[in-house]
Amino acid sequence: MTSIIDPNTIGKPVRPRRHVRTLTGYLPEVDASGKEKWPKGEEKVWKSGMRSLDNNVNSITKSFVNHVQTSLARQPYNLDDLGAYQAAALSVRDNLLVNWNETQLQYTRKAPKRAYYLSLEFLMGRTLDNALLNLGLKDEYKTSVKSLGFSIEDILDKERDAALGNGGLGRLAACYLDSSASQELPVWGYGLRYKYGIFQQLISPEGNQLEAPDPWLEHQNPWELPRLDVTYGVRFYGHADRLDDGSGRAIWAGGQEVLAVAYDVMIPGYGTKTTNNLRLWESKSKRGFDLNSFNAGNYEKAVESSNSASAITSVLYPNDHTLVTLNMFGKELRLKQQYFWTAASLADILRRFKNMGKPLTELPDFVAIQLNDTHPTLAIPELMRILIDEEDLTWNAAWKIVTNTFFYTNHTVLPEALEKWAVPLVEHVLPRHMQIIYDIVILIYLFLAVEKKFPGDRDRLARMSLIEEGQPKQVRMAHLACIGSRKVNGVAELHSDLVRTTILKDFVEFEGFSKFGNVTNGITPRRWLDQCNPELSALISKTLKLQKGIWLKDLYKLEGLLKFTENKTFRREWAAIKQRNKERLAHHVLTTLGLTVNTNAMFDVQIKRLHEYKRQTLNILGVIHRYLTLKKMTPAERKKVNSRVVFFAGKAAPAYYIAKLTIRLIVNVARIINDDPETKDYLTLYFLPDYSVSLAEILIPASDISQHISTAGTEASGTSNMKFCLNGGLLLGTVDGANIEIAEEVGESNVFFFGHLTPAVEDLRYQHLYHPIPIEENCPALAHVLNQVSAGLFGDGGVYEPLLNTIRQGDYYLLSDDFDSYIEALAMVDDAYRDRDEWIKKSIRTTAKACMGKFSSDRAINEYAESYWNIEATPINGNK
């Protein structure tokens, strides 16, 4: 292991310090009283170097041209939009670097307690526009690049989304990093630097989803800083031999060792100099190229080690909730990803902590580690391994440190979605960690503590065990995360209550209710209003007579919009902005798919990762029902119907057959109904491929209604519902996740609810399983729709039988039970939309109430900081 000396890792602020040379200059000498003394002449050099850059238009232009010539080695006559983007990004990065260095130096000086957010995904989206927003330099850069013959819009469009995630889990992590920096909280993120991300989604002529690599790193990524000298060795396989001295220690040796190499991404706060860090790990071979094998003529063996190591961070495996569809190689690779990332992150965290000169027993006083779902749970046995095997702590002392350092956020109550790993696989890949997990079961937790509190309750012991019996046995990662963490939280009030009363009920009874809390998810209003909907942001600022910097960091001020709902001029401006956002979306569809969109229709949007519990299938079957109804109408009757344009976007896991069939059905239904001369003026349908943050930024501001229609009790929270509401889109959904809390804020008259409630779900599933009612009796309208699909109305009906049979046989997600209610809710939406003036009032109320401060990620991150991590804001000198 090698490491660097930088402002994050050096200095002991509680003790006198001599002059220290760092990568970014000198740290001054500090005497016992804390007074700084600089070397002769160094203070002026250092402080002038850390001063904010001059950011008038002329200086920005000079910086841009300088990067064109010196960083890109190009000249104006051969500079295209991509080169202009790279030059602009490098120029903006100069500003971030100044603030980043000041931030890290301040953290080193003040030595605050820090929080570290471990997430397997960080769905960051494009960075340039967000950086300009947070730095307050949008207008200056727009003017500068225009003077050089470029359009800021064209330049922004050249940036590719960072392919570091798939769905809501990764976007939540990105929002939390933004809010942490904006709230001046010392929070770092840790993730993996995927070379190809998840995949680029293509649609075949038959409507099938095809997956292609997403080479998002094919051009220089100006937002990352390679830290090639920040590396850690990570071991796999081998053997773990226990010492027979009674200490519980073991020696883990042999196997494969790869290097984790750090890449840093700066995370700027809004309206502040605070610039935090996202550290991503790339895997590389420790041995590199095997020259001996090459010389012997065995080329495959010569590169085998390098290829095996680099594969760890090549591709993000999408989480299809069960992992059962992955082959053994895929499962092993995903396990290696999780350990590689957590091991490197812990090594980095401990290095930084040790350089403070504190004893390890004080680790929980200076470090809080948040586990975003179960993916980073291996950090718990890894920290135990380090403390016992490498630091010679006793088992009890190590466990006390571990259980006061980690915090666990649960993101699902679906039993099949709770991550498990086969014991033989863990023993093979991580032999020492499997020993530690068994030791936790035997020495600390179950057979001592649980048995003592609930003597003779063998069923409880089996339910709570970290090991699930079976062939093969499985390690229950949610249980390990629960018992190894100081606090556990869900992400919406309903979800957190279900966590406490269902999947973790035994642990609540054992450890007490106070350990299990709730932090409702939130979104950053900077990206999800000001950046994606700038006209609406400007209207809000003008109407409230507030600078946007004020209300963007205090969304409770949006409640001031309520008194303007009766103002006709304000409503007219609001509606006009919505219409222009629709036209922007229509232009995107025309330029990317060559299809024309009716912008005078209602825009109905569902954009989510494809999964059965999210029920895109219910939506498309509802579209078919609407189409069949329109076909039965006379021309005169159709003229009374609201025109509706339905948009879908989202990716299905490559091995998720049913989800991919749903995409195929959507695409082929669209082909039929969009070309039907009788109905196309009243109903059209579009599936937009390759869903991303950037595409969401176009879709969300354009929506009139958005659908969040998961089976009750299955969606932990959802955050896209918050994004739509913040942009004035009304919500159609089930009584599930954060939908409930949004309705509580905005009032149910402004939300369209349908479907059975959570308490009824299990009874209905039991009925489907043991007392099934033919779908023709249970829901004739849905049965007719299914029969039309089977009959080939939208192509070969036989192709869709596996999908249709999930409803006809078992119907685990209760589509047949909720379909009639869903159609009624859609009719209520139609009725409400006919009164456009009242609809705009609902839209304004939704923005003002449904997504005010409660659903800001600023509020959520402050809850974590105060009630979980116990960290405080650490302002940077000169912050605005």
Per-residue three-class SS string for 63-95: HHHHHHHHCCCCCHHHCCHHHHHHHHHHHHHHH
Burial 492-502 (b: 16+ CB within 10 A, else e): bbbbbebbbee
Q: Is the peptide bond before 472 cis (omega within 30 degrees of 0)?
A: yes
Instruction: Indicate if 614 belongs to the active site.
Output: yes
**pLDDT for residue 25:** 38
Mean pLDDT by 10 residues, the chain (880 residues): 32 38 42 54 41 74 92 87 95 94 94 97 94 93 92 94 87 96 97 91 96 90 95 96 89 95 97 96 80 58 68 76 59 94 98 96 98 97 97 95 98 86 96 96 74 87 91 95 96 94 94 94 94 96 92 92 96 98 98 96 97 97 98 95 97 93 98 96 97 96 98 93 95 95 90 96 94 94 97 94 96 97 98 96 90 85 97 81
**pLDDT for residue 50:** 37
Kindly name the residue from 723, 756, 854, 859 that is annotated as catalytic. 723
Chain Cα centroid distance, residue 125: 10
Residue with tokens 């940077």: 876
Residue 12's contacts (CB-CB under 8 Å, 6 or more residues apart) are 355, 356, 357
E strand or H helix that includes residue 649: strand 644-649
Taking 3-state DSSP, the helix, strand and coil percentages for the chain, each rounded to the nearest 5, stand at 50, 15, 35
Domain with 550 in it: what CATH number?
3.40.50.2000
Q: Which two tokens stand for residue 668?
A: 């082929």
Closest CA to 863 of 368, 520, 513: 520
Residue 635 amino acid letter: P
Residue 671, phi-psi category: left (phi > 0), alpha (psi -120 to 50), beta (remainder): alpha
**pLDDT for residue 616:** 98
Closest CA to 381 of 364, 394, 365, 398: 398
Residue 304 amino acid letter: E
Kindly name the residue from 195, 235, 614, 615 that is annotated as catalytic. 614
Sign of the Cα pseudo-torsion (422, 426, 428, 432, in order)? negative
**pLDDT for residue 445:** 63
Residue with tokens 């600023």: 858
Q: How far apart are the first and last CA of the chain?
A: 39
- What is the rounded CA–CA span in Å between residue 564 and residue 575? 13
E strand or H helix that includes residue 266: strand 256-268
| Cα Rg of the chain (Å, integer) | 28
Instruction: Indicate if 19 belongs to the active site.
Output: no
DSSP-based three-state secondary structure for 648: strand
Q: Which residues lie across from 518 on neighbouring strands?
A: 490
Asked if the structure places residue 848 within a domain, the reply is: yes
DSSP-based three-state secondary structure for 809: coil
DSSP-based three-state secondary structure for 113: coil
**pLDDT for residue 258:** 95
Asked if the structure places residue 796 within a domain, the reply is: yes
- What is the rounded CA–CA span in Å between residue 1 and residue 136? 40
Closest CA to 671 of 710, 620, 713, 717: 620
In Å, what is the CA distance from 307 to each residue of 164, 304, 340, 483, 524? Answer: 21, 5, 16, 37, 39
| Count of structural domains, the chain | 2
**pLDDT for residue 49:** 36
**pLDDT for residue 359:** 96
Residue 820's contacts (CB-CB under 8 Å, 6 or more residues apart) are 779, 781, 782
Instruction: Indicate if 608 belongs to the active site.
Output: yes
Q: Is the peptide bond before 415 cis (omega within 30 degrees of 0)?
A: no
Cα dihedral 584, 586, 588, 592, rounded to 10, equals -170
In Å, what is the CA distance from 488 to each residue of 199, 377, 410? Answer: 32, 13, 7
Asked if the structure places residue 82 within a domain, the reply is: no
The DSSP bridge pattern shows strands 683-687 and 644-649 to be parallel
Sign of the Cα pseudo-torsion (290, 295, 300, 301, in order)? negative
Residue with tokens 């970014």: 24
Closest CA to 13 of 406, 391, 366: 366
Kindly name the residue from 609, 660, 842, 849 that is annotated as catalytic. 609
- What is the rounded CA–CA span in Å between residue 96 and residue 159? 18
Alpha helices (H) in 493-634, listed in sequence order: 493-501, 505-511, 525, 534-544, 548-551, 568-593, 616-632
CA-based diameter of the chain, in Å?
90
E strand or H helix that includes residue 128: helix 128-135
Q: Which residues lie across from 607 on neighbouring strands?
A: 649
Closest CA to 162 of 187, 197, 207: 197
DSSP-based three-state secondary structure for 222: coil
Closest CA to 667 of 651, 685, 683, 679: 685
Phi, psi of 284, rounded to the nearest 5 degrees:
-140, 155
- What is the rounded CA–CA span in Å between residue 673 and residue 693? 28
Query: Is residue 847 within 8 Å of residue 561, measured between CB atoms?
Result: yes
Kindly name the residue from 719, 758, 846, 847 that is annotated as catalytic. 719
Residue with tokens 């406490």: 500
- What is the rounded CA–CA span in Å between residue 808 and residue 727? 38
Q: Which two tokens stand for residue 698?
A: 């176009």
Kindly name the residue from 411, 432, 845, 854 that is annotated as catalytic. 411
Asked if the structure places residue 30 within a domain, the reply is: yes
Query: Is residue 684 within 8 Å of residue 673, measured between CB atoms?
Result: yes
Alpha helices (H) in 703-800, listed in sequence order: 720-726, 739-746, 758-770, 775-778, 780-790
- What is the rounded CA–CA span in Å between residue 701 and residue 728? 8
- What is the rounded CA–CA span in Å between residue 563 and residue 283? 56
Kindly name the residue from 109, 195, 486, 608 that is annotated as catalytic. 608
Query: Is residue 600 within 8 Å of residue 579, measured between CB atoms?
Result: no
Chain Cα centroid distance, residue 437: 28
Domain span including residue 3: 1-39
Angle formed at CA 430 by CA 425 and CA 433, multiple of 5 degrees: 115
DSSP-based three-state secondary structure for 815: helix
